[in-house]
Chains A and B, each alone.
Chain A
C-alpha cells in the first residue's frame, strides 16, 4: 500500500519570506510525486512533479521541490512568498498505477 502524509494542516508565512510545505511518502516501488495547488472554488492545478533525475524540481509560479529518498520526503518550497500564493496545496503519489494518492492538504496563508 502507498501513502502520503502532509503533517501540517496550515502554514503561515509573511510575504517576502521563504515558505516550505512538507510532504512525506511511503511506497514499495519507485515514487512518482506531484504537487497540486487549489485556489478557492477552483479545481486542482499542477505545480510540479518528480519522476526521475535531478532531486531538485522546478515548477510553476517560482515553486520548487526537493526529492529526498533517504528521508522519503518531497517538500515544496519557494524563496519569497506572495499573498497570492495563499491556497490549499496537495502532495500526491503514484506508484505502479496512474491513479494518484493524495495527501490531506495543507492550507498556506501568506500574510501581507
Chain B
C-alpha cells in the first residue's frame, strides 16, 4: 500500500470554528509532513514529525496545531483561522533512514476555505 489518505477532501470554516485535518499512511514511514500550497505555487513546509516527535516547525502561527498520535496518523488542528489561510493542505510521508535519498509520498490534499 503506497497511499497516503487525507480527510476531508474539502473544508469550509468560519474564522471562529475549530476543525481538524487528518492524514494516514500504512507504509511504515517514520517521517510525516504538513505542507500548505497556494494555487500554482510550490508546497510550503509547515511541520515535520520524525518518529512521532515534532522535529521541524517552520514558524507556523499557533492557530495551526499538529499532532501525531501514532506512526500512521497525523492531524492538523485548526482554530481561529484567517481568510489568507485558505489553501490546499498536503500531507506527505517518507522513510527517514536514507538521508537525502528518500521519496516523499503525498496525499491528495484538503482544500480549505476560510470565510
Contacts and interface: CB of A to CB of B under 8 A. Distances in A.
Contacts of A46: 103-105
Given A32-B100, A34-B103, A105 B40 contact: yes
A103 B99 CA distance: 20
Contacts of B45: 99
B111 A99 contact: no
Contacts of A42: 108-109
Contacts of A36: 104, 106
B107 A43 contact: yes
Contacts of B6: 43
A1 to B, nearest CB: 15
B100 A94 contact: yes
B87 to A, nearest CB: 12
A104 B99 contact: no
Interface string A23-60: 00000001010101000011111100101000000000
Nearest to B98: A98
B interface, by DSSP: helix, strand, loop or mixed? loop
A94 B33 CA distance: 15
A109 B50 CA distance: 37
B106 A44 contact: yes
Q: Which of A44, A96, A103 has the most CB of B within 10 A?
A: A44
Interface in A82-112: 88, 90, 94-100, 102-105, 107
Interface of B: 4, 6, 31, 40-43, 45, 48, 56, 88, 90, 92, 94-96, 98-109, 111
16 contacts: A34-B103, A36-B106, A41-B111, A42-B108, A43-B4, A43-B6, A43-B92, A43-B109, A44-B104, A51-B101, A97-B100, A98-B98, A98-B100, A99-B56, A105-B42, A107-B40
